[in-house]
Structure 1
């Protein structure tokens, strides 16, 4: 039986989202078109892959059984295309998500790859670590850069590449702005900015852990964004403070002070899918990155 690979990709995105509207948005197709294509695949396979009900969409037993094979097939095709391009002497493509391109470590990672692998064409995205996991597992992404986590999904590999010191961003007129260093416990009464939990959960867990170690749970500012620039505008306006990396570019009107001794550094890691052809050239180029 021949199965259209495009339909397999539709199935994989639908299996990740379990929501026709969200999946159709990711695939740049209409919801009715996606529904028709899923039904076409189910017709080809002779079985129902998704259970549709007023409570939502779930995979059937057949869908669960088909899922790992579909992931492997699509990843194998992509790996084969990459190797064929390399054998033909054509530039290879590395699809990499770096969480945020305006931070120092992501910028340095991209610069290292461009310097050491000039024939490598980078397709860079910044869609968050949760999205990274889904795309790595589905074969839609080759390499991810985000914070280290102790709870890595099955099928993914992780390698620590850098540790960074932390500071706190304060409005220029804040009483702590004149301090040489700030203890986390001194921030107990402040309103704190944190990104969306589904964008960088490992970062939020790290910051919450630092605060709880200091004896408090931070009060969160109600606004939440994906990038640092808009967050620092809230700090500059005096609405909140934000614990962040000392290497982050800070705008005028925002003062950053290092956190006092005892706060662990933040760890950055590379992630890739274990069961597919690893991006070996990129991983080799990023060895010994800690001191760069």
Structure 2
């Protein structure tokens, strides 16, 4: 009985904390909180700056793995907009009735790449395919990935390795990180010689280089859906969402390497 009770208490405390944050957020007129997948950080920070300059209002991004953000939304976290790195977590929130009706749309596209860090031989060349002996290349070292059963970048990476017949040999060598940016840092800092991240993440870190891109048919299409959350559906939120999904923000996303869904 102690463990269930402890979970109940933790949930109650978390809900109370989120409610308090929501009340505080509501007092900040002109602020729209966006829960965004960690891979969106550079682009979203730029978009928030442009939005502030043009409207005088604030876009306040909060970054983490899509799974973590979705669970926080389920617990009542005070956000108005959610951009997920895969459709699955958005599906979950939609099934829970937590999205504003009709607001969901596919926004961005991405790809996953194998990257190398600063300590890797500069002449290392890799062509990803079923014959790639990635486990042998790693030796006693680790392959950095986001959580392979929860975070989209990790899910896509595991799917690609499985499709290519490489997962069983590589799995014992995987170092899992909380989100894709954390996996990127492991490689950029030299703590792991190689990793699997989004192409946009690799472009954001000068300490890593792309060895190869995983074949598009080795994993599900990488789609970022965006939606307004039902509890935060206001005129102000709608205006912010229109900007986030509009031509100016799309141009910024493209400059950071994202594809645009539907183009």
TM-score by shorter chain over 0.5: yes
RMSD, matched Cα: 4.1
Checking the alignment, whether the CA contact within 8 Å between 1:160 and 1:268 is kept in structure 2 is: yes
Q: Alignment length, in residue pairs?
A: 219
**1:212 partner SS:** helix
Structure 1 residues 166 and 128: CA distance shift in structure 2, 3 A:
closer
Distance 1:119 1:266 in 2: 33
Determine the structure 1 residue equivalent to 2:259: none
- Counterpart residue number, 1:19: none
What does residue 59 of structure 2 align with? Answer: 122
- Structure 1 or 2: larger helix share? 2
Where does 1:220-239 land on structure 2 (aligned, <5 Å)? 220-222=173-175, 224-226=177-179, 228=181, 231-234=184-187, 237=190, 239=192
Q: 1:287 to 1:121 in 2, by over 3 A?
A: closer
Equivalent position of 1:256 in the other structure: 210
Give 1:287's match in structure 2, choosing from 199, 223, 245. 245
Structure 2: runs of 5+ lacking an equivalent: 9-14, 255-263
Which residue pairs with 1:156 in the alignment?
Answer: 98
Shift of 1:124: 3.0
Match of 2:258 in 1: none
Counterpart among 91, 94, 111 of residue 32 in structure 2: 94
Deviation larger for 210-219 or 235-244: 235-244
Residue 285 of structure 1, CA deviation: 0.7
Q: Which residue of 2 aligns with 1:43?
A: none
Paired residues for 1:102-251 under 5 Å: 103-111=41-49, 113-116=51-54, 118-137=55-74, 138-150=76-88, 151-153=91-93, 154-157=96-99, 158-171=104-117, 173-174=120-121, 177-178=124-125, 182-183=128-129, 186=132, 188-189=134-135, 190=138, 191-196=142-147, 201-217=151-167, 218-219=170-171, 220-222=173-175, 224-226=177-179, 228=181, 231-234=184-187, 237=190, 239-248=192-201, 249-251=204-206
- Whether the 8 Å CA contact 2:153–2:198 is kept in 1: the answer is no
Bigger relative CO (Cα 8 Å, ≥ 6 apart): 2
Question: Aligned in 2, Cα 1:275/1:250: closer, same or farther, shift over 3 Å?
Answer: closer
Question: What is the TM-score with the length of structure 1 in the denominator?
Answer: 0.58
Which runs of 5 or more residues in structure 1 are unaligned? 1-52, 60-69, 86-90
Aligned partners of 2:143 and 2:175 also within 8 Å: no
